[in-house]
Amino acid sequence: MPVRQLPEQVVNRIAAGEVVERPASVVKELVENAIDAGASRVDIFTDGGGRRRIGITDDGSGMTHGDLALAVDRHATSKLDDEDLLRIRTLGFRGEALPSIGAVAKLGITTRHASEPHAWSLSVEGGLKSQIMPAALSQGTRVEVSDLFYATPARLKFLKTDRTEAEAIREVVRRLAMARPDIAFTLAGEERAPVTWAAALPGAAGRLTRLGDILGHDFRSCAIEVRSEREGVVVEGFAAAPSLTRANALGQYLFVNGRPVRDKLILGAVRAAYSDYLPRDRHPVVALFVTLAPQEVDANVHPAKTEVRFRNAGLVRALIVHALKDGLAREGRRTAANTDGAALSAFRPSFAPRPTNWDWRSSPAYPVRPSFEGVAATALAEAGQAAFDVGAPTADVRFEAQPSADLLDRPLGAARTQIHETYIVSQTRDGLIVVDQHAAHERIVYEKLKASLAKNGVQRQILLIPEIVELDEATVEKLLARAEELASFGLAIESFGPGAVAVRETPSLLGKANAAGLLRDLAEHMAEWDEALPLERRLMHVAATMACHGSVRAGRRLKPEEMNALLREMEDTPNSGQCNHGRPTYVELKLSDIEKLFGRR
């Protein structure tokens, strides 16, 4: 078959395949045009998931008669002052959106510029332009798209249900609304109740208001402001405390110079910053805004402009990690229990309906007839009350002298008792705190290991008699391959024949550690490591595993002075609100909350 030049309509439909993937792509391109036109309000209406109709109305600058005639031609744009694609300051710049939409759908545009006596309208059907006609419109631009993909019916088979497509449109508008809190957005359609996001005030407060309106009250209540700046690159935004997580990374919103993007580099940086706070199967909720010079980022690397490429990607990643870690360390004691009411809801009494045939006389608590045989009788049947006997606290300081005032004024208060040999109960001026002793000490040991490694290496202790640990040969090979990394944490191992490892030195922070259990856990974690994982992250995985084995175990009875010492160390340790696995280390109940539980307020 000879080479031939394709007709313009076919070229436009091929180009539309890249730009117009689904109805949400149309909404994205048209709303970006409205934002670039300086609109302060954008109204979006869809019908049939955007398949039957999409309407976008804005109050932007509009277009003149001449601009409207050119706007639907390929590669015609008002957004590039020159031919320099490395200084893009607008969301759109290619001039492909309108002609691509007009090639596969019925497109109608009505617009009015301030210099024109009235509005003008133009329609495009299947790539064919109509004559420009006078129209009525007070200000801005109104774009109507109907019968999407009518010119390419095969594309309709690849669309999802109307509800799914409507949800994709909603997600696109949500991201654009988060990027521009100064613009009011209204989204309406058959598939949903209308939702309006009012324009917010400039600055961090306005941005948080818009993020809270979109991401919900939970995010607003536990959002931590983050910011970092270096060499003209600014990273700012809000990150949720580790108490608010998702099962996937869809709750991570990233914006570069006001453009919503999905970038693996930034997602990896977010994951690294939260690695000390979250379990492996949970993901944080963040909204980060990266601002830098246009020539430092290339936005022309993806047809839909959803990906970017940084000139100095390492700097951007470092700033994101620094901003998030700094913010999380600053708010290190905000846990799930004392920020979102989870602890209170767990205490709410629930009453099951009483059986209709219930006889109160058969209750084990039915008062028995007193007997006066020299011993005072109890008012209630002892057999019925035996179930409530949980034993005395394992360590109790309630009957000692009143704790000193300075202890009660400390953030974690004064230890009063230990229950189930696992939890420490402390008293503060305005409430009580329950501490998981193992999780708390695990974080303390972990932070000490990190600080020691960064300062002058981990202090180690030489075993008088090396401990021999027998493992399968594959596990031994994994451990010996990482022997140098383990040695940096004070764990010196060497081969001791097939299927065995000799442990000669252990970190002094761990005390008398279970070497066999520690090595098995380390081998399991190493099996999940990717060779591309930075050495620093691998070392932190080792530190987390060692900290878990070197911590005060649940079930250990503590003396009152040991409990208070643990509380004081928690107060001085960064990130003490969560253990290394992301679980909260303590639960706080204010006295006012307790009074609400008992109906006193």
Residue 355 above 70 pLDDT?
A: no
Q: What is the pLDDT of residue 137?
A: 92
Classify burial at 514, counting beta carbons within 10 Å of its beta carbon; exposed 0-12, middle 13-18, buried 19 or more. middle
Q: Given a cut of 80, is residue 508 above it in pLDDT?
A: no
Identify the pLDDT of residue 373. 43
Q: How far is CA 272 from CA 254, 318, 453, 569, in A?
A: 16, 10, 18, 26
Average model confidence (pLDDT) across the chain: 79
Confidence of residue 408 (pLDDT cuts 50, 70, 90): confident
Whether pLDDT at 354 is above 60: no
Strand partners, 428: 431
Residue 544, pLDDT score: 63
Span of 273-282, 308-317, 523-532 with lowest mean pLDDT: 523-532
Cβ atoms of 173 and 44 closer than 8 Å: yes
pLDDT of residue 242: 84
Q: What per-residue confidence (pLDDT) applies to 85?
A: 59
* Least confident window among 101-105, 221-225, 361-365: 361-365
- pLDDT above 70 for 260: yes
> Closest by alpha carbon to 54, among 63, 45, 62?
45
Do 551 and 443 meet the contact criterion of CB atoms below 8 Å apart? no
Beta partners for 125?
A: 106, 128
Task: Determine the angle formed by the axes of helices 313-330 and 264-273, rounding to 10 degrees.
Answer: 30
Strand partners, 195: 187
Distances (CA, A) of 381 to 364, 371, 374, 378, 403: 6, 13, 18, 7, 38
Rounded Cα gap, residues 287 and 297, in angstroms: 19
| 474, two tokens | 């594959």
* Residue % of the chain over a pLDDT of 90: 26
Q: Is there a contact between 479 and 523 (Cβ–Cβ < 8 Å)?
A: yes
Lowest-pLDDT range of 23-32, 305-314, 348-357: 348-357
pLDDT recorded at residue 195: 92
Lowest mean pLDDT among 35-49, 137-151, 312-326, 377-391: 377-391
pLDDT attached to residue 574: 80
Q: For residue range 452-468, what is the model confidence (pLDDT) as tens digits?
A: 766 766 677 888 888 88
175 versus 359: the higher-pLDDT residue is: 175
Q: What confidence category does residue 224 fall into, taking pLDDT thresholds of 50, 70 and 90?
A: very high
Burial environment of residue 45 by CB neighbours within 10 A (0 to 12, 13 to 18, 19 or more): middle
Q: Which of 111-125, 138-152, 334-348, 558-572 has the lowest mean pLDDT?
A: 334-348
373-377, 426-430, 489-493: least confident range: 373-377
Summarised one tens digit per residue, pLDDT across range 559-574 is 888 898 989 988 888 8
Q: Which of 219-223, 268-272, 384-388, 469-473 has the lowest mean pLDDT?
A: 384-388
Q: Residue 228: pLDDT band by 50, 70, 90 thresholds? A: very high
- Looking at residue 185, its pLDDT comes to 96
Q: Which tops the pLDDT comparison, 545 or 588?
A: 588
